[in-house]
Structure 1
Amino acid sequence: MSGLKKLFPEKIDLNRLIFKIGEVSKMMDVSTRQLRYWEQKGYITSIRDDKSRSRVFNMENLNKVTLIKHYLDKGFTLTAANETASENIAKMRYLRRFMMNAFEDVETIDGQPVVNLGYFNEEKTSILYASVDENDEIKYRVVDIKKKDK
């Protein structure tokens, strides 16, 4: 069983969180007119709220709006901002998939917290651990399972 499943026993579907177009507009400081234009261009996708028939956006689209806005603020064109945002969202999806499968647990070694990233080798004789030091530098260590159990 994956470690994240141990920490979060129920699947959390963030896309079930929905935001009305006006809320997205206020949160991201993007006009509703801009959001409708981005939707028209196919950069973001709204869904219709059955109760009010208004545009609502899920978390994935909120993230896309956030990234597009960020890149526009950095001087990108809208097309380049959308392309870069799409690339970064694809990377985030991959990272999430990686973490869901690689992360096992947060453990303690020598009194310090470490992240157990699973087996380091195909023989499953050693485990890869990662930690963050006081300077925010990542440190890795491979621990032989026989030594770990002692």
Structure 2
Amino acid sequence: MKRGSYMLGLKKLFPDKMDLNKLIFRIGEVSKMLNVSTRQLRYWEKKGYIESIRDEKGSSRVFNMENFTRVSLIKYYLDKGFTLVRANEITQTNMSNMAYLRRFVMYAFQDIEMIENQPAINLGYFDDEKTSILYGFIDKNDEVKYRVIKNKEEDR
């Protein structure tokens, strides 16, 4: 199986210490992106379900990535028919899962490489001896597949 660099330096675009909470969204942007009125967002903030921060001028409400995710999840559960209180409870539970998922992806992702003329995500070593690498890819039917490949660098 042929391995090769697909995108040079891709790892550098996703540094280990990337702080997604440095992404800031204004209340109007959140409203448009998630189809939630600014009035609803202010109400949710008043109830303590979400938390905004003030921009540098101290005037506009802005949201970090964590609260953007909260708004997104609350909206999702409201659209599924849950009450606001229940949507918030479920969101609280899922926020720790989302943080774990983000942390896992941050540490698992190594690179994107070509395997048999198809992009594959290098998810790191599969074994403690570091002789095999786990790859994930999406096949032509949009199904996620995994493959373990012997580490070619071990042969050198």
Fold-level match, TM-score > 0.5? Answer: yes
Take 1:78 and 1:61, find their aligned partners in 2: how far apart are those partners? Answer: 16
Give the secondary-structure state (helix, strand or coil) at the position aligned to 2:92.
helix
Give the secondary-structure state (helix, strand or coil) at the position aligned to 1:45.
coil
1:100 is matched with 106
Q: 1:18 aligns with which of 4, 7, 24?
A: 24
- Please, which runs of 5 or more residues in structure 1 have no aligned partner? none
2:34 is matched with 28
Higher relative contact order (CA 8 A, sep 6+): 2
Distance change (3 Å), C-alpha of 1:129 and 1:10:
closer
Cα root mean square deviation, aligned: 2.7
Question: Per-residue CA shift, 1:62-111, capped at 9, x if unaligned?
Answer: 22112211211211011111122233332222111111111111112222
State, as a whole percentage, how many aligned pairs show the same letter. Answer: 68
2:80 is matched with 74
Give the secondary-structure state (helix, strand or coil) at the position aligned to 1:51.
coil
Contact (CA 8 Å) 1:105, 1:117: kept in 2 or not?
yes
- More displaced 10-residue stretch of structure 1: 106-115 or 73-82: 106-115
Distance change (3 Å), C-alpha of 1:14 and 1:98:
closer
Give the secondary-structure state (helix, strand or coil) at the position aligned to 2:85.
helix
Q: 2:125 aligns with which of 116, 119, 126?
A: 119
Confirm whether residue 132 of structure 1 aligns to residue 144 of structure 2: no
Please give the TM-score of this superposition, normalised by the length of structure 1: 0.80
Take 1:31 and 1:111, find their aligned partners in 2: how far apart are those partners? Answer: 46
Aligned residues: 148
Give the C-alpha shift of residue 12 in structure 1: 4.8
